[in-house]
Amino acid sequence: MIDPDLETALQAALAEPPRRVRAVVLPDGRRFWLKRVERLSGRLRLQKGDPGRAFAAEREGLRALAAAGVPVAGVAAEGPDWMLMPDAGPVLTAVVADTGRGEAEKLRAFAEAGQALGRLHRAGLAHGRPAVRDVCWDGAEARFIDLERFRRARRAGFWQAADVVMFAQTAFTAWPGDPRWLDAALDAYAVSAPEGAMVAVRRLVWWLTPVGWLAAGLARSRSGSRELRAAGLTLGRLRR
C-alpha cells in the first residue's frame, strides 16, 4: 500500500503517453522514477533487442540484488509493464561534476561502488552493464540502476570480469586524464570481490588485446572518439 500523494502522482504519470523513464515528483519534494517497457520501431528493435525481455531482466535483477543484500534501486510499486522506483541520488558522473562535493566524498562514492560490485559478484551475479552512469550515490551507499542486461552469472568468471571492464571503460571515457575515481573503485573491488576475480579480469583483458590494437588504429583516424581512446587506457590499467 503506497501513500495517497504517491498513488495520485503515479496514476497521473501512468495516464500520460508512455515514456521509457519519467520523473514523478511529489508535493513534498520526494522524487521517484516511473520506468516502463520501451516501445521501439522495427529498426531500433533489431538494434537494441526485445524491450520486454530487457525489462524482465531488470525486474529480476532488482529483486536478486536486493535479496543478496547488494545496494540497488528500490521498487515502491510495480505493474505488469512498469516499475516505480525512489530516486537513489545522482549518478557517478554527476557526482564528479558537482563542484559542491569535495574530493574525499567523490572518492568514497567510487570506493563504495567498487565494494558493491564486489559484493554483487560474490553473490554469484553479474550486472551486465555497470557503466559509471548506472551507479547512483545517495550519500551513504552506491546503488545500482539500469539492470536490463542483468544475468545470473552461469559463467561467473567471464561475465563478472566483463562487468569490471565495462566499468573501467566508461570511467576512462568520462575522465581519460583522471584515474583517481576508477582507482578508488578498483581498489575496493579487489578487496570485496570473490577470490580470483582480478585474475579473471586480467585473463579477459588478454583475450581483448586484439580489440585494443584495433581501437588504437581507429583512434588515429578518429581522434575525437573518447570511447576508442578509453579502450587502450582500460586494457592498460587492467593488465596491472
What pLDDT is stored for residue 228 in this prediction? Answer: 84
Residue 70 C-alpha from the chain's centroid: 13
Can you give the pLDDT at residue 205? 93
Give CA–CA dist 107/29, Å, rounded. Answer: 28
- Give residue 216's pLDDT: 64
Res 26: pLDDT:
95
* pLDDT score, position 151: 78
Residue 222 φ/ψ, nearest 5 degrees: -130, 65
Provide the pLDDT for residue 45. Answer: 55
Query: b or e along 162-181 (b: 16 or more beta carbons within 10 Å of the residue's beta carbon)?
Result: bbbbbbbbbbbbbbeeeeeb
Burial class (CB in 10 A: 0-12, 13-18, 19+), 101: middle
What is the model's pLDDT at position 221?
Answer: 59
- The per-residue pLDDT string of the chain (240 residues; one tens digit each, 9 = 90 and over) reads 678 899 999 999 999 988 899 999 999 999 999 999 977 665 555 556 678 888 999 999 999 999 999 999 999 999 999 999 999 999 999 999 999 999 999 999 999 999 999 999 999 999 999 999 999 999 999 999 999 999 776 566 899 999 999 999 999 999 999 999 999 999 999 999 999 999 999 999 999 987 766 666 666 656 557 888 888 899 999 988
Q: Quick one: which of 169, 146, 116 has its CA closest to 55?
A: 146
pTM: 0.90
CA distance 186 to 180: 10
* List of domains in the chain: 14-86 (3.30.200), 92-238 (1.10.510.10)
Q: Sheet holding 21-25: strands in order across?
A: 21-25, 31-36, 82-86, 77-79
Number of residues that this document lists for the chain: 240
Q: At what angle do helices 197-207 and 226-238 cross, to 10 degrees?
A: 130
Query: Is-contact 133 113, C-beta < 8 A?
Result: no
Residue-wise burial string across 138-154, b where 16 or more C-beta atoms lie within 10 A, e elsewhere: beebbbbbbbbbbbebe
